[in-house]
Amino acid sequence: MSAQAAQQAPAPGAESGEMPAILRIRLSKKVDCEKQCPEWECLQPSQFDKVWVVGELEEGRVSEPSLQMLTPGLELARKLYTSLEAVLIGGDREALEKAAREMIYHGAERVHIIHSEALREYMAEVYARVLAAYAHKHRPDVMLFPATMRGRELAPYVANTLRAGITADCIRFDVDEKTGDVDMIRPPFAAIMLAYIKTPTRRPQIGTARPNVFPKPPRDETREGELVWARAEDYGVPRPRSRVLRVEKIEKKEIPIEKAEVIVSGGKGVGTHEGFQMLEKLAELLGGVVGGSRKAVDMGLVPYERQVGQTGKTVRARLYIAVGISGAAQHTVGIRECGTVVAINKDPEAPIFQHADYGVVADWKEVVTELIRILETGEEV
């Protein structure tokens, strides 16, 4: 479902006036305390409520992946008959407030802002422990994190501290109508089917999704919401076990692949550094960047941060040109959100053609050479 539809559509059964079945199930669900972790007091699922999206700031602004997570957040909140809230943590009050407003414009009803001067510097352990203590007190039913570098650090730390389950890299979220549990849906390793993962006894139910798997919800500056400020010290700010001595920014000359509008992606079929130089040339002429399959990465032809697919990046390019890539499921899962996919492969049976809008069965070198020539000469075709 699109972000807009998730914001607007009523949840199933909402019109009848009776208590919706899922809500009834959620409120009456009882778990056996024996099965819960003995380290924590036994809490029933009905003692937890709300869907939280944990947002993050990138250079003082709310990151795109944080806004994107509001889309599944809205849909889950609608299906669970609860509300969507966001949580931000950090040390820059002004930046936090601006970020919180952005999250409201994109669908959050309330934003919890956990603030402390001691949190100016990001430290995974410190942020995670404060977040976990905050979640332990306020008991969200669901916590969603973007699977960014930070989200990948924080989510498992919070999950482990709360002795809750976590499912990483989900591509969909749903609600099991029989149990009221959230289905965290993701491709299992090396397989083409989907795994539906639940946390039946523990709360919160924690999941992550990679950047670009969901579009961000539409922005509406007239939307209003509540800001709840919290002092991080009230939740215990631990002394960091490490110290940041210096921050060095790595100059990124190129657009990161997950933000590129045009990607020319090469596979094992391209085979050599010279071949990839030709793809660079084509990408440059099209105003795009080069990506690659895992085999191309393993061959040292393209750096890992440009790998597309299940264990690489999910991309949302307007134009994706797959050159000498067979189209394994672990690759194509990363290009599902692309606009137009063009495949160039000499094997007419290559699975990539099933995912392409346009296919060229030919030797890639001939096709790429001709494309470069046409783009350089400006010849009409």
Amino acid at 19: M
Residue-level length of the chain? 381
293 binds ligand FAD (CB under 6 A): yes
Nearest to 334 by CA among 353, 314, 360: 314
When the beta carbons of 90 and 269 are compared against ligand FAD, the nearer one is: 269
Asked if residue 106 lies in contact with residue 216, where contact means CB atoms within 8 angstroms, the answer is yes
Question: Which amino acid appears at position 380 of this protein?
Answer: E
Shortest reach from residue 352's CB to ligand FAD, in Å = 7
- Answer for which of 62, 328, 341, 371 binds ligand FAD (CB under 6 A) is 328
Nearer to ligand FAD, 97 or 280 (CB): 280
Residue 208, SS3? strand
Query: Does 331 engage in binding with ligand FAD (CB under 6 A)?
Result: yes
Bridge-partner residues for 271, per DSSP? none
Distance between CA atoms of 276 and 259, rounded to whole angstroms? 20
The overall longest dimension of the chain from CA atoms, in Å, is 74
**Member of 268, 284, 286, 337 binding ligand FAD (CB under 6 A):** 268
Residue 43 DSSP label: -
Q: Tell me whether residue 221 or residue 274 sits nearer to ligand FAD (CB atom).
A: 274
- Helix then strand then coil, in percent of the chain rounded to 5, is 35, 20, 45
Q: Is 179 in the site for ligand FAD (CB under 6 A)?
A: no
Inter-CA distances, 249 with 34, 134, 339, Å: 50, 31, 32
- Sole window of 120-128, 132-140, 142-150, 293-301 interacting with ligand FAD (rule: CB under 6 A): 293-301
Measured CA to CA, the distance from residue 196 to residue 278 in angstroms comes to: 42
Question: Could you say whether residue 310 binds ligand FAD (CB under 6 A)?
Answer: yes
From the list 54-62, 222-230, 277-285, 339-347, the region that binds ligand FAD by CB under 6 A is 339-347
Nearer to ligand FAD, 138 or 336 (CB): 336
> Which of 17, 38, 189, 242 is close enough to bind ligand FAD by CB under 6 A?
189
364 contributes a contact to ligand FAD by CB under 6 A: yes
Nearest distance in Å: CB 193, ligand FAD:
14
Residues of the shown chain interacting with ligand FAD in the complex, contacts defined by CB under 6 A: 189-190, 267-269, 293-296, 307-312, 324-326, 328, 330-331, 344-347, 350, 363-364
